[in-house]
Structure 1
Amino acid sequence: MRVTIISIPVRDQEKALQFYTEKLGFLKNKDQPLGGGNRWLTVVSKDDPDGLEILLEPAPNHFEPCKVFQDALQEAGVPYTQFDVDSVDAEYDRLTKLGVEFRVQPKVYDNTVKYAIFNDTCGNYIQLVENL
Protein backbone atom coordinates (compact mmCIF):
# COMPACT_ATOMS: atom_id res chain seq x y z
CA MET A 1 0.00 0.00 0.00
CA ARG A 2 1.24 3.52 -0.77
CA VAL A 3 -0.08 7.04 -0.74
CA THR A 4 -0.25 8.62 -4.20
CA ILE A 5 -2.70 11.49 -3.73
CA ILE A 6 -3.95 13.73 -0.93
CA SER A 7 -6.72 16.27 -1.18
CA ILE A 8 -6.93 19.82 0.07
CA PRO A 9 -10.42 21.34 0.16
CA VAL A 10 -10.67 24.57 -1.83
CA ARG A 11 -13.58 26.87 -2.47
CA ASP A 12 -12.43 28.05 -5.88
CA GLN A 13 -10.43 25.61 -7.95
CA GLU A 14 -9.13 28.17 -10.44
CA LYS A 15 -7.99 30.53 -7.69
CA ALA A 16 -6.37 27.57 -5.91
CA LEU A 17 -4.60 26.48 -9.10
CA GLN A 18 -3.17 29.96 -9.57
CA PHE A 19 -2.04 30.18 -5.93
CA TYR A 20 -0.50 26.71 -5.78
CA THR A 21 1.33 27.10 -9.11
CA GLU A 22 2.20 30.82 -9.28
CA LYS A 23 2.94 31.42 -5.59
CA LEU A 24 3.96 28.03 -4.18
CA GLY A 25 5.63 26.73 -7.34
CA PHE A 26 3.73 23.47 -7.82
CA LEU A 27 3.10 22.16 -11.34
CA LYS A 28 -0.35 21.41 -12.74
CA ASN A 29 -0.55 17.67 -13.30
CA LYS A 30 -4.13 16.66 -14.13
CA ASP A 31 -7.08 18.79 -15.15
CA GLN A 32 -10.17 16.85 -16.20
CA PRO A 33 -13.73 18.20 -16.19
CA LEU A 34 -16.14 16.39 -13.89
CA GLY A 35 -19.32 18.28 -14.71
CA GLY A 36 -21.08 21.04 -12.86
CA GLY A 37 -18.02 23.26 -13.22
CA ASN A 38 -15.90 20.90 -11.12
CA ARG A 39 -12.56 19.41 -12.17
CA TRP A 40 -10.24 16.59 -11.17
CA LEU A 41 -7.43 19.06 -10.66
CA THR A 42 -4.07 17.99 -9.25
CA VAL A 43 -0.70 19.61 -8.73
CA VAL A 44 2.70 18.10 -7.98
CA SER A 45 5.96 19.35 -6.55
CA LYS A 46 8.36 20.65 -9.19
CA ASP A 47 11.07 18.86 -7.17
CA ASP A 48 9.24 15.50 -7.44
CA PRO A 49 6.86 15.60 -10.44
CA ASP A 50 6.34 11.82 -10.30
CA GLY A 51 5.61 11.89 -6.58
CA LEU A 52 2.57 12.61 -4.47
CA GLU A 53 -0.28 14.52 -6.13
CA ILE A 54 -2.36 17.16 -4.36
CA LEU A 55 -6.01 17.16 -5.41
CA LEU A 56 -7.51 20.65 -5.21
CA GLU A 57 -10.86 19.32 -4.01
CA PRO A 58 -14.01 21.48 -4.41
CA ALA A 59 -15.83 19.61 -1.61
CA PRO A 60 -16.60 22.70 0.54
CA ASN A 61 -18.84 23.95 -2.28
CA HIS A 62 -20.95 20.76 -2.36
CA PHE A 63 -20.63 19.02 0.99
CA GLU A 64 -21.63 21.14 3.98
CA PRO A 65 -19.74 19.06 6.61
CA CYS A 66 -16.50 19.70 4.69
CA LYS A 67 -17.19 23.44 4.67
CA VAL A 68 -17.99 23.41 8.41
CA PHE A 69 -14.76 21.51 9.15
CA GLN A 70 -12.70 23.85 6.98
CA ASP A 71 -14.27 26.92 8.65
CA ALA A 72 -13.64 25.48 12.12
CA LEU A 73 -9.97 24.77 11.38
CA GLN A 74 -9.44 28.25 10.00
CA GLU A 75 -11.27 29.92 12.89
CA ALA A 76 -9.07 28.00 15.35
CA GLY A 77 -5.94 28.84 13.34
CA VAL A 78 -5.15 25.17 12.78
CA PRO A 79 -3.31 24.27 9.55
CA TYR A 80 -5.07 21.85 7.22
CA THR A 81 -1.76 20.21 6.29
CA GLN A 82 1.96 20.86 6.20
CA PHE A 83 4.66 21.04 3.56
CA ASP A 84 8.27 20.28 4.44
CA VAL A 85 10.87 22.74 3.17
CA ASP A 86 14.65 22.99 3.34
CA SER A 87 14.50 26.49 4.84
CA VAL A 88 11.43 28.04 6.42
CA ASP A 89 13.17 31.43 6.47
CA ALA A 90 13.93 31.31 2.74
CA GLU A 91 10.36 30.23 1.86
CA TYR A 92 8.91 32.87 4.19
CA ASP A 93 10.98 35.58 2.48
CA ARG A 94 10.13 34.31 -1.03
CA LEU A 95 6.41 33.96 -0.35
CA THR A 96 6.12 37.25 1.53
CA LYS A 97 7.59 39.02 -1.51
CA LEU A 98 4.86 37.35 -3.60
CA GLY A 99 2.16 38.73 -1.30
CA VAL A 100 1.38 35.54 0.64
CA GLU A 101 -0.22 36.32 4.02
CA PHE A 102 1.33 34.55 6.99
CA ARG A 103 -0.64 33.87 10.15
CA VAL A 104 2.51 32.76 12.01
CA GLN A 105 5.96 34.05 11.16
CA PRO A 106 8.90 31.62 11.37
CA LYS A 107 9.28 30.17 14.88
CA VAL A 108 11.40 27.44 16.41
CA TYR A 109 9.64 24.74 18.40
CA ASP A 110 11.54 22.67 20.97
CA ASN A 111 14.83 23.21 19.08
CA THR A 112 13.75 20.45 16.67
CA VAL A 113 11.68 22.21 13.99
CA LYS A 114 11.10 25.64 12.57
CA TYR A 115 7.65 26.40 11.23
CA ALA A 116 5.48 29.13 9.75
CA ILE A 117 1.80 29.16 8.80
CA PHE A 118 0.27 30.90 5.77
CA ASN A 119 -3.19 31.41 4.28
CA ASP A 120 -3.67 29.64 0.94
CA THR A 121 -6.50 32.09 0.02
CA CYS A 122 -8.83 29.13 -0.58
CA GLY A 123 -10.02 28.45 2.97
CA ASN A 124 -6.95 26.82 4.53
CA TYR A 125 -3.94 27.54 6.64
CA ILE A 126 -0.88 25.59 5.52
CA GLN A 127 2.15 25.00 7.74
CA LEU A 128 5.70 25.02 6.43
CA VAL A 129 8.12 22.85 8.45
CA GLU A 130 11.89 22.62 8.51
CA ASN A 131 13.54 19.91 10.59
CA LEU A 132 16.48 21.36 12.51
Structure 2
Amino acid sequence: MPVTKTALRGISLVCVTTPDQDKAVTFYESIGFEKRTDEPFGGGYRWIEMYPPEGETGIALAPPPEGSTFEPAQTGITLTTADVEAVHAEMVDKGVDVDAEVSRMGDPVPPMFWFRDPSGHSLMVVEQPE
Protein backbone atom coordinates (compact mmCIF):
# COMPACT_ATOMS: atom_id res chain seq x y z
CA MET A 1 0.00 0.00 0.00
CA PRO A 2 1.49 3.37 -0.95
CA VAL A 3 2.04 5.93 1.79
CA THR A 4 -0.14 9.01 1.39
CA LYS A 5 -0.35 12.40 3.05
CA THR A 6 -3.08 10.96 5.27
CA ALA A 7 -0.97 8.03 6.50
CA LEU A 8 -0.74 7.47 10.23
CA ARG A 9 2.28 9.24 11.71
CA GLY A 10 2.63 8.21 15.34
CA ILE A 11 1.07 7.79 18.74
CA SER A 12 0.25 11.01 20.56
CA LEU A 13 -1.77 9.77 23.54
CA VAL A 14 -2.73 6.60 25.32
CA CYS A 15 -6.00 6.91 27.21
CA VAL A 16 -6.18 5.39 30.69
CA THR A 17 -9.47 5.32 32.57
CA THR A 18 -9.24 6.55 36.14
CA PRO A 19 -12.08 7.03 38.64
CA ASP A 20 -10.14 9.70 40.60
CA GLN A 21 -8.46 12.09 38.19
CA ASP A 22 -7.04 14.39 40.88
CA LYS A 23 -5.38 11.48 42.68
CA ALA A 24 -3.98 10.22 39.36
CA VAL A 25 -2.59 13.67 38.47
CA THR A 26 -0.86 13.94 41.85
CA PHE A 27 0.65 10.47 41.39
CA TYR A 28 1.93 11.03 37.84
CA GLU A 29 3.38 14.43 38.83
CA SER A 30 5.16 12.72 41.74
CA ILE A 31 6.99 10.41 39.33
CA GLY A 32 8.04 13.24 37.03
CA PHE A 33 5.20 13.69 34.56
CA GLU A 34 3.89 17.15 33.74
CA LYS A 35 0.26 18.09 33.21
CA ARG A 36 -0.06 19.83 29.84
CA THR A 37 -3.84 19.80 29.47
CA ASP A 38 -6.69 19.97 31.98
CA GLU A 39 -9.89 21.15 30.31
CA PRO A 40 -13.58 20.63 31.04
CA PHE A 41 -15.64 18.88 28.39
CA GLY A 42 -18.95 17.13 27.89
CA GLY A 43 -20.95 18.30 30.88
CA GLY A 44 -18.80 17.78 33.95
CA TYR A 45 -15.93 15.73 32.56
CA ARG A 46 -12.28 16.77 32.41
CA TRP A 47 -9.75 15.97 29.69
CA ILE A 48 -6.31 15.64 31.30
CA GLU A 49 -3.04 14.92 29.51
CA MET A 50 0.17 14.00 31.36
CA TYR A 51 3.57 13.77 29.66
CA PRO A 52 6.99 12.49 30.72
CA PRO A 53 9.52 15.34 30.63
CA GLU A 54 11.30 14.10 27.49
CA GLY A 55 8.37 12.47 25.74
CA GLU A 56 6.08 13.32 22.87
CA THR A 57 3.52 10.65 23.75
CA GLY A 58 1.28 11.35 26.72
CA ILE A 59 -1.21 9.59 28.94
CA ALA A 60 -4.75 10.92 28.94
CA LEU A 61 -6.45 10.39 32.32
CA ALA A 62 -10.13 10.01 31.52
CA PRO A 63 -13.07 9.23 33.79
CA PRO A 64 -14.85 5.92 33.22
CA PRO A 65 -17.90 6.17 30.98
CA GLU A 66 -21.07 6.79 32.96
CA GLY A 67 -22.70 3.55 34.07
CA SER A 68 -19.64 1.41 33.34
CA THR A 69 -17.78 -0.79 35.79
CA PHE A 70 -14.17 0.25 36.35
CA GLU A 71 -11.48 -2.45 36.21
CA PRO A 72 -7.72 -1.81 36.51
CA ALA A 73 -5.77 -2.96 33.46
CA GLN A 74 -2.32 -3.95 32.37
CA THR A 75 -1.94 -0.92 30.11
CA GLY A 76 0.94 -2.06 27.94
CA ILE A 77 2.49 1.38 28.48
CA THR A 78 6.28 1.13 28.55
CA LEU A 79 8.34 4.01 29.94
CA THR A 80 12.07 4.21 29.25
CA THR A 81 15.01 5.30 31.37
CA ALA A 82 18.78 5.21 31.13
CA ASP A 83 19.01 3.88 34.73
CA VAL A 84 16.27 1.42 35.68
CA GLU A 85 17.80 0.73 39.11
CA ALA A 86 17.73 4.42 40.08
CA VAL A 87 14.12 4.86 38.93
CA HIS A 88 13.08 1.71 40.79
CA ALA A 89 14.78 2.90 43.99
CA GLU A 90 13.18 6.34 43.67
CA MET A 91 9.73 4.84 43.23
CA VAL A 92 10.26 2.56 46.22
CA ASP A 93 11.31 5.59 48.30
CA LYS A 94 8.13 7.42 47.21
CA GLY A 95 5.94 4.49 48.23
CA VAL A 96 4.87 3.59 44.70
CA ASP A 97 3.46 0.08 44.26
CA VAL A 98 6.39 -1.44 42.34
CA ASP A 99 7.73 -4.93 41.77
CA ALA A 100 10.06 -6.00 44.58
CA GLU A 101 13.07 -5.91 42.27
CA VAL A 102 14.20 -5.19 38.74
CA SER A 103 13.74 -8.16 36.41
CA ARG A 104 16.81 -9.22 34.43
CA MET A 105 16.00 -11.90 31.85
CA GLY A 106 19.08 -11.37 29.67
CA ASP A 107 19.45 -10.29 26.07
CA PRO A 108 17.51 -9.24 24.12
CA VAL A 109 15.09 -8.32 26.95
CA PRO A 110 16.19 -5.15 28.77
CA PRO A 111 16.14 -4.82 32.58
CA MET A 112 12.62 -3.82 33.63
CA PHE A 113 10.02 -3.59 36.37
CA TRP A 114 6.29 -3.03 36.67
CA PHE A 115 4.51 -0.48 38.81
CA ARG A 116 0.87 0.26 39.56
CA ASP A 117 -0.78 3.68 39.57
CA PRO A 118 -3.43 4.65 42.18
CA SER A 119 -6.19 3.18 39.97
CA GLY A 120 -4.38 -0.17 39.92
CA HIS A 121 -3.25 0.07 36.28
CA SER A 122 0.11 -1.59 35.54
CA LEU A 123 2.85 0.18 33.58
CA MET A 124 6.38 -0.97 32.79
CA VAL A 125 9.74 0.81 33.08
CA VAL A 126 12.58 -0.52 30.90
CA GLU A 127 16.20 0.45 30.67
CA GLN A 128 17.17 1.97 27.36
CA PRO A 129 20.76 3.24 27.45
CA GLU A 130 21.33 6.62 25.83
**Structure 1 length as normaliser, TM-score?**
0.77
Q: Which has the larger radius of gyration?
A: 2
* Aligned equivalent of 2:116: 119
- How many residue pairs end up in the alignment? 120
Segments of structure 1 that go 5 or more residues without pairing to the other structure are: none
Q: How does 1:17-32 map to 2 (within 5 A)?
A: 17-22=25-30, 24-32=31-39
**2:118 matches 1:130:** no
* Separation (CA, whole Å) in 1 of partners of 2:94 and 2:101: 15
Aligned to 1:96: 92
Q: Does 1:55 align with 2:60?
A: yes
Q: Does 1:39 align with 2:36?
A: no
CA distance in 2, matches of 1:118, 1:4: 22
Please report how far the alpha carbon of residue 44 of structure 1 lies from its aligned counterpart in structure 2 after TM superposition. 1.3
- 1:12 and 1:80 map into 2 onto residues whose CA distance is 21
> Please, what is the CA RMSD of the aligned residues?
2.2
Counterpart of 1:53, as a letter, is G
Q: Which residue of 2 aligns with 1:5?
A: 13
Question: Residue 108 of structure 1: which of 100, 104, 110 is its match?
Answer: 104
* Counterpart secondary structure, 1:16: helix
Question: How high is the sequence identity, in percent, across the aligned residues?
Answer: 24
* Cα offset, 1:52, TM superposition: 1.7
Letter in 1 for 2:113: A
SS at match of 1:122: coil
State the shift of 1:16 in Å: 0.4
More helix by share: 1
Relative to the length of structure 2, the TM-score reads: 0.79
The unaligned stretches of length 5 or more in structure 2 are: 1-7
- Residues 46-85 of structure 1 correspond to what in structure 2 (within 5 A)? 46-48=53-55, 51-59=56-64, 62=66, 64=68, 67-68=70-71, 70=72, 73=73, 78=74, 80-85=76-81
